Amino acid sequence: MTSFADEARIALDNLVDRTGDIFHPTLRLGVTGLSRAGKTVFISALVHNLLHGGRLPLFHAQADGRIARTYLEEQPDDAVPRFQYEDHIAKLVEEREWPSSTRAISELRLTIDFQSASGWSRMFSRGRLSIDIVDYPGEWLLDLPLIDKDFSTFSREAIERAKLPGRSGIAEAFLRELASVDPAAKMDEPTAQRLSKSFASYLRAARSDNTALSTLPPGRFLMPGDLEGSPALTFAPLMLDDSATYSRDSLAAVLGKRYEAYKSVVVKPFFRDHFARLDRQILLVDALQAINAGPEAVRDLEIALSDILRCFRPGRASWLGSLLTRRIDRILVAATKADHLHRDSHRKLQAIVHRLLDGAIRRADFSGARTEVLAMAAIRATREARIDDGGEELPVIVGVPQSGETIAGETFDGRSETAVFPGDLPSDPTSLFTDADGKAEHADPIRFVRFRPPKLERNEDGLTLSLPHIRLDRALEFLIGDRLA
């Protein structure tokens, strides 16, 4: 995926990092997931619970009273934007609104002073660990396989995906535009821009709430940032003839050159400067949105997540090898928004996500990395209850649906609390996928609604408690617990 020069720079960066670890032990934790999976919420809740002594009974270092203090420090990478933790918490706690989604890479350093559970370790360890939390869009990960693909391969695969039954409708305008273009024609900037905008519109439509299809590369088309309008982001796949030769000033040649520029100025720097320096990774998955949208979206999510997991560098390096090459030795796949379900369905949700990533997880395990799948809610927006439904006890969740959410024809104003029966997930995860004829085996509709963040509780002394959660403590124990042992 990378050149010799890239690998040499990665090795040098890792050597610098490892040398610093001798005096200041650090763990780099990557947080990613596709759009609306809850990356910003997860980081905010993790930091808030650690800073404010949250209820984390399964996070042993805190439950055992071995954490002396937790605090934020200046992040080590001056060129990376800081994760705006304070703004996000204010949005969650004061306004009871969910913060904006991740649009670019950001970083936050959280330092924990602790006492080791081992007397031997206490003799030789400072009892301090800094966690550099690196937040980045999962769509960027989908770009990494492009490094090994030429423009012809990218074009063929992108067009094949656009013609799939679940995509052909939303890709219709782009495919029509594409059919009107001659790749051998002389390069024309208005044509290139028109085609690129049409392609980007199709990608955005694939991520809408109604379709919930997973994004195709190039991921930066949805999050252009300061590259918007640049040649590196003004290209699109073309219907190319592999046996043809295109002139240097043809549309095919120029857009192919821009595709290569995209890899050079966007994809490779992200891999080299950020992704290749991670120690551990959490991949957040919003399976409920895909289930809402239907079997085609579930199948599409499976492909996207498998592509993402294949991009990781899992495994355990030797002590000497780790000085130059970093490996991700723990990967947590977290099915988010478990609070949208009754706890009776949490194991089913875990089973569905495990089914989505079964092959990729086996490969990671084989490489020596530890993997775990967990149903969780970084911030719990609902509580559970049971109601009588004609003599039958029905498990429900209680919360405040977001303004505009509709249940059984009733549209909510964002202020009224209600009890919702969220439905039941199938015991057999395969029933959510399509069969060989493209028909859904599981015909029963499953619908979920979005809830507002909870109003924080106060204890008997009037102190505001930390953000409630579901299994955030288990996630913390898996990701960093061994480093605090």
Q: Kindly state the average pLDDT of the residues 231-238.
A: 96
Segment 414-459, tens digit of pLDDT: 998 998 888 778 888 887 875 444 454 444 556 678 899 998 876 6
For the chain, give the percent of residues with pLDDT over 90.
50
When mean pLDDT is compared over 17-26, 60-69, 284-293, 362-371, the highest value belongs to 60-69
Task: Find the range with the poorest average confidence among 28-37, 172-181, 245-254, 425-434.
Answer: 425-434
- Residue 120: pLDDT above 70? no
Which pLDDT belongs to residue 444?
52
pLDDT class for 271, splitting at 50, 70, 90?
Answer: confident
Which pLDDT belongs to residue 424?
79
pLDDT class for 321, splitting at 50, 70, 90?
Answer: very low
Segment 88-99, tens digit of pLDDT: 999 999 999 999
Give the chain's domains with CATH numbers: 4-136+274-380+471-484 (3.40.50.300), 146-266 (no CATH)
- Residue 304: pLDDT above 90? no
Helix (H, G, I), strand (E, B) or coil at 475: helix
Q: Kindly state the average pLDDT of the residues 51-75.
A: 94
Q: Report the C-alpha gap between 330 and 351 in whole angstroms.
A: 19
Q: Report the C-alpha gap between 206 and 164 in whole angstroms.
A: 12
Which pLDDT belongs to residue 2?
52
Q: Which of these, 90, 71, 80, lies nearest to 131 by C-alpha position?
A: 71
- Residue 366: pLDDT above 70? no
Residue appearing with tokens 């980081």: 43
Q: Are 65 and 107 in contact (CB under 8 A)?
A: no
pLDDT class for 124, splitting at 50, 70, 90?
Answer: low
Q: Kindly state the average pLDDT of the residues 212-225.
A: 82
Cβ atoms < 10 Å from Cβ of 233: 20
Task: Find the range with the poorest average confidence among 36-40, 138-142, 340-344, 470-474.
Answer: 138-142
Q: Report the C-alpha gap between 369 and 314 in whole angstroms.
A: 5
Average pLDDT, the chain: 85
Which pLDDT belongs to residue 318?
46
More confident residue, 278 or 19: 278
Residue appearing with tokens 């997991």: 309
Q: Kindly state the average pLDDT of the residues 266-288.
A: 89
- Residue 323: pLDDT above 50? no
- Plot region of 466 (φ>0 → left; ψ -120 to 50 → alpha; else → beta): beta
More confident residue, 109 or 359: 109
Which pLDDT belongs to residue 108?
97
- Residue 311: pLDDT above 50? yes
Q: Kindly state the average pLDDT of the residues 391-406.
A: 89
Rounded to two decimals, what is the model's pTM? 0.86
- Residue 6: pLDDT above 70? no
Which pLDDT belongs to residue 320?
43
- Residue 59: pLDDT above 60? yes
Task: Find the range with the poorest average confidence among 160-164, 179-183, 297-301, 375-379.
Answer: 297-301
Q: Which of these, 157, 114, 87, lies nearest to 27 by C-alpha position?
A: 114
More confident residue, 47 or 271: 47
Q: Are 466 and 43 in contact (CB under 8 A)?
A: no
Give the containing element (helix H, strand E) for 349: helix 346-356
Q: Kindly state the average pLDDT of the residues 118-137.
A: 78
- Residue 16: pLDDT above 90? no
Q: Kindly state the average pLDDT of the residues 51-67.
A: 93
Residue 324, judged by CB atoms within 10 A of its CB (0-12, 13-18, 19+), counts as middle
Which pLDDT belongs to residue 322?
47
